[in-house]
A and B are shown apart, each in its own frame.
Chain A
Amino acid sequence: SQQGEEDPQALSIQEGENATMNCSYKTSINNLQWYRQNSGRGLVHLILIRSNEREKHSGRLRVTLDTSKKSSSLLITASRAADTASYFCATDLQGAQKLVFGQGTRLTINP
């Protein structure tokens, strides 16, 4: 299976609720990044967390990293309709000099 697998594949919640997406990976990383993709658009970088960090915040986004479990989570608080998009985690593998993207979580925020 792929490095950087997101879970769930799809998530549908009501506006105002919190959304949590998870990412698991297999090998050691330098950093892990989360990207958002709106339908028909390119990916947009959201947040980067380095391997020696455990938690990072950016506005309504909170990212955690557990290197012992090789997993990360992205929490979006107080979701809005505009948060509807696909979210991808990408791992910067040690020695690889490139990012490896997962298959993404498709998030739908219902008004």
Chain B
Amino acid sequence: DARVTQTPRHKVTEMGQEVTMRCQPILGHNTVFWYRQTMMQGLELLAYFRNRAPLDDSGMPKDRFSAEMPDATLATLKIQPSEPRDSAVYFCASGFRAGAYTDTQYFGPGTRLTVL
């Protein structure tokens, strides 16, 4: 049963520390998305990749957030330095896009980040 995996599931850190979240997309998928979910803002798209190339990261605070796909089996989202307002659940999702349409996205279980 193929699924998206994310690590860690929970992370508590202090303000100013670096946080790295990892995602393993479903094998064969060519798009990867990073979302952030909070009660106030709902689900926000931070960045997404297609065939490992970043297509859009306009949703990310550029000064502290960075997203990469070092290879097809790993996507990372890094926050440095972290701030309390970054506390949220971060979801990774993967899918397959072959043309003009965005098909189903498969979500991971999320990383619940708390920045003290």
A42 near B103 (CB under 8 angstroms)? Answer: no
Q: Which label, helix, strand, loop or mixed, suits the secondary structure of the A interface?
A: strand
Interface stretch (choices B12-20, B43-51, B65-73, B76-84)? B43-51
Which of A42, A48, A97, A99 gathers most chain B CB within 10 Å? A42
| A-binding residues in B (CB < 8 A) | 4, 33, 35, 42-43, 45, 48, 50, 55-56, 91, 93, 97, 100-110
> Is chain B's binding surface mostly helix, strand, loop or mixed?
strand
Contact indicator per residue, chain A 17-50, by CB within 8 Å of chain B (1) or not (0)? 0000000000000110101000001111100101
- Counted as pairs of residues, one from A and one from B, with CB atoms less than 8 Å apart, the total is 58
Tell me which of A45, A94, A98 contacts B45 (CB under 8 A). A98
User: Which of A30, A33, A43, A100 has the most B CB atoms < 10 Å from its CB?
Assistant: A43
In the complex, A100→B58 CA distance in Å?
14
Q: Which of B101, B108, B109, B110 makes the CB contact (< 8 A) with A92?
A: B101
Chain A residues bordering chain B, tally (CB within 8 A) = 24
Verify B104–A45 contact, CB threshold 8 A. Answer: yes
- From B42, B43, B101, B109, A41 is in contact (CB under 8 Å) with B109
Say yes or no: A42 contacts B110, CB within 8 Å: yes
